[in-house]
Amino acid sequence: MTQHLTTDIAILGAGVVGLAIAEALTAEGREVVVVDPAQPGMGASYGNAGTIADYAVMPVGSPDVLRNLPSLLFDKNSPLAIRRAALPSLLPWLARFARQSLPGPAKQNAAAIAALLADACPSWQALAARIGAGAILQNKGCLYLYETQTAFRAAEADMAFRRGLGISVELISPETLAAMEPGLPAVAGGAAFFPQAVFLNDPGAMVQTLAKHVFASAGFVQAEAQAITRQFDGVIIEGPGLRLHARRVIIAAGAHSKRLAVQAGDAVPLDTERGYHVEWDMAAPRLNRPACPTSRGFYLCPMQGRLRVAGTVELGGLTAPASPHRIAKLVEGARAMFPDLGEPDREWMGFRPSMPDSVPVIGPSRAGPEVIHAFGHGHIGLTLAPITARLVAALVAGRAPELDLRPYLPSRF
């Protein structure tokens, strides 16, 4: 039986970005219905590393990555890899990615990302306070680990570039690192410490708390939005058992946004990264804050009641099953740091929306402002949810957004 519904604003996607937008809009008295085929917050919003990564200004594509791209993509042990069966469909995306990895575009992309990240941590602290979830936020910073002196010295230029974009970072010695994280094995190189970063020790609990807060004021329809059609008085959203008329539509469906964006009139080069995590239950954490062994491409995350090891990038689409090899590499990497770990208690794979320039799509559709895009955040969707919500709320209200949206508009493609 088809539900025939009407609302002022429909948000397609109940991940952390969609929920944050719903929170911002309902706070301004807007009528909102959120549509998602899954339960709210159960995709990448649940399975991430929990870091509010205000330091993550570097796009995935850079000159260094471009120089090593063939070996990175086709080495199955690489932190950045590709499912070979997906290569033909990925070639256009990879061509764009290569162009965006050149020095000029990479620098511009970093500046665009940095502008969005500028107050990510205060924004999350304010959001957590509004929804009564401040205890989930941990104000202890974050670490990049360098296992050799060569890697540590090579990081100096990277960190200088980040400081130029406003990032607070300290390069610390192995001795200082050992004092901060006595549970970690010694590393020869040292670490980069980002003191202002915060993290969520239970991203799933945070998103569920946000959802509970949102749905005290907003509606939720568990259905798949398969078609959107503009009409003179708004947009019709249709799917199995669903027909929803909305004055405005916000596409915030993460990795599933591309098809909807095309129907809205915007062909965006969105593709899918498949992210993984494994977890070990434990009463006491092995470390005090998230730490990323940079050569291994994952995070060690001290979650509530468990250690989560999350990360790596696999380009491979939305339909293939999880890769046992990628799971095994995470387990192997975790045991390189903590040799006494047994078999993990659980494993997970989810989808990240990946743009070739690592810059999200935020702003009105080229065909008209009744559709607003808010997707493509890649590795930093959790981090950027509150600022994305403020930008979208400003567009809905007809206010000037706090940032120049030109670097994020769909018309950049």
DSSP letters, 54-89, are TT--S-S--HHHHHTHHHHHH-TTSSEEE-GGGHHH
| Residue at 103 is within a domain | no
Instruction: Give the end of a domain, one of 333, 354, 375.
Output: 354
Whether residue 179 is found in the same domain as residue 263: no
Whether residue 276 is found in the same domain as residue 263: no
DSSP state of 400: P
Asked if 43 and 272 count as a contact pair (C-beta separation under 8 A), the reply is: no
Position 403 scores a pLDDT of: 97
Whether residue 181 is found in the same domain as residue 64: yes
∠ CA 160-309-65, nearest 5°, is: 40
Q: Can you give the CATH number for the domain in which 388 is found?
A: 3.50.50.60
Whether residue 213 is found in the same domain as residue 322: no
Whether residue 143 is found in the same domain as residue 77: yes
Q: If residue 219 lies in a helix (H) or strand (E), which one and from where to where?
A: strand 219-222
Collapse the DSSP code of 407 into the 3-class scheme (helix H, G, I; strand E, B; otherwise coil) and give the result: helix
Whether residue 347 is found in the same domain as residue 292: yes
| Residue at 160 is within a domain | yes
DSSP state of 148: S
| Residue at 243 is within a domain | yes
**Phi-psi domain of 388 (left: phi exceeds 0; alpha: psi -120 through 50; beta: other):** alpha
Domain membership of residue 379 as a residue range? 3-46+205-268+358-412
> How many domains, in total, are found in the chain?
2
Which pTM value belongs to this model?
0.96
| Residue at 102 is within a domain | no
Whether residue 192 is found in the same domain as residue 219: no
DSSP state of 361: E
| Residue at 139 is within a domain | yes
| Residue at 108 is within a domain | no
Predicted confidence pLDDT, tens digits, the chain (413 residues):
667 789 999 999 999 999 999 999 999 999 999 999 999 988 889 999 999 999 999 999 888 888 877 776 677 777 677 777 777 888 898 899 999 999 999 999 999 999 999 999 999 999 999 999 999 999 999 999 999 999 999 999 999 999 999 999 999 999 999 999 999 999 999 999 999 999 999 999 999 999 999 999 999 999 999 999 999 899 999 999 999 999 999 999 999 999 999 999 999 999 988 889 999 999 988 999 999 999 888 999 999 999 999 987 788 778 778 888 889 999 999 999 999 999 999 999 999 999 999 999 999 999 999 999 999 999 999 999 999 999 999 999 999 999 999 999 999 98
| Residue at 98 is within a domain | no
Amino acid, res. 220? F
Instruction: Report the distance separating Cα 375 and Cα 60, nearest Å.
Output: 17
Whether residue 81 is found in the same domain as residue 141: yes
DSSP letter for each residue of 42-58: -SHHHHS--EE-TT--S
Whether residue 394 is found in the same domain as residue 311: no
CA distances from 96 to 31, 50, 91, 111, 228 (A): 39, 29, 9, 19, 27
Whether residue 38 is found in the same domain as residue 62: no
Whether residue 74 is found in the same domain as residue 164: yes
| Residue at 104 is within a domain | no
Q: Compute, in degrees rounded to 10, the torsion defined by CA atoms 281, 282, 285, 291.
A: -30
Q: Can you give the CATH number for the domain in which 348 is found?
A: 3.30.9.10
Rounded to the nearest 5°, which phi and psi values hold at 283?
-70, -40
Asked if 195 and 218 count as a contact pair (C-beta separation under 8 A), the reply is: no
Of residues 300, 299, 264, the one with CA closest to residue 282: 300
Whether residue 342 is found in the same domain as residue 363: no
CA distances from 14 to 41, 150, 291 (A): 6, 43, 28
Position 67 scores a pLDDT of: 84
Instruction: Give the end of a domain, one of 354, 369, 384.
Output: 354
Position 316 scores a pLDDT of: 76
Instruction: Give the end of a domain, one of 354, 374, 404.
Output: 354
